[in-house]
């Protein structure tokens, strides 16, 4: 990097970013795994066959109100993209 009229030459760093990329990849894997676990927890929570007697989709009137159905579908769709 050459600075204007002064003519000073400065190093731009140009460091090797492979260690940073490895760390970022590990973080991405961890976040994807946490998302998968969270999606399964949501699915278990809204399923009346698995949630120990709670109403379907945690709604007082599951036939009329969607409760957390949309949140579960959104979480499943997001995890399907990974």
Give mean pLDDT in consecutive 10-residue pieces for the chain, a chain of 82 residues: 72 78 96 96 94 91 85 94 82
> Which strand (E) or helix (H) includes residue 27?
helix 18-46
Query: Is pTM, for the whole model, over 0.75?
Result: no
pLDDT at 1: 60
- Determine, yes or no, domain membership for 4: no
- Determine, yes or no, domain membership for 67: yes
pLDDT at 3: 73
- Determine, yes or no, domain membership for 9: no
Which residue range forms the structural domain that includes residue 69?
Answer: 18-81
- Determine, yes or no, domain membership for 5: no
- Determine, yes or no, domain membership for 1: no
What CA–CA distance (Å, rounded) separates 50 from 10? 63
- Determine, yes or no, domain membership for 37: yes
Residue 65 near residue 72 (C-beta atoms within 8 A) = no
- Determine, yes or no, domain membership for 12: no
Please state the domain count of the chain.
Answer: 1
């Amino acid at each position: 990097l050459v600075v204007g009229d002064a003519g000073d030459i400065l190093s731009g760093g140009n460091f090797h970013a492979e260690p940073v990329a490895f760390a970022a990849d590990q973080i991405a894997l961890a976040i994807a795994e946490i998302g998968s676990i969270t999606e399964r927890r949501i699915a278990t929570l809204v399923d009346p066959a698995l949630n120990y007697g709670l109403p379907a989709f945690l709604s007082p009137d599951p036939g009329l109100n969607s409760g957390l159905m949309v949140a579960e579908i959104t979480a499943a769709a997001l995890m399907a993209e990974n």
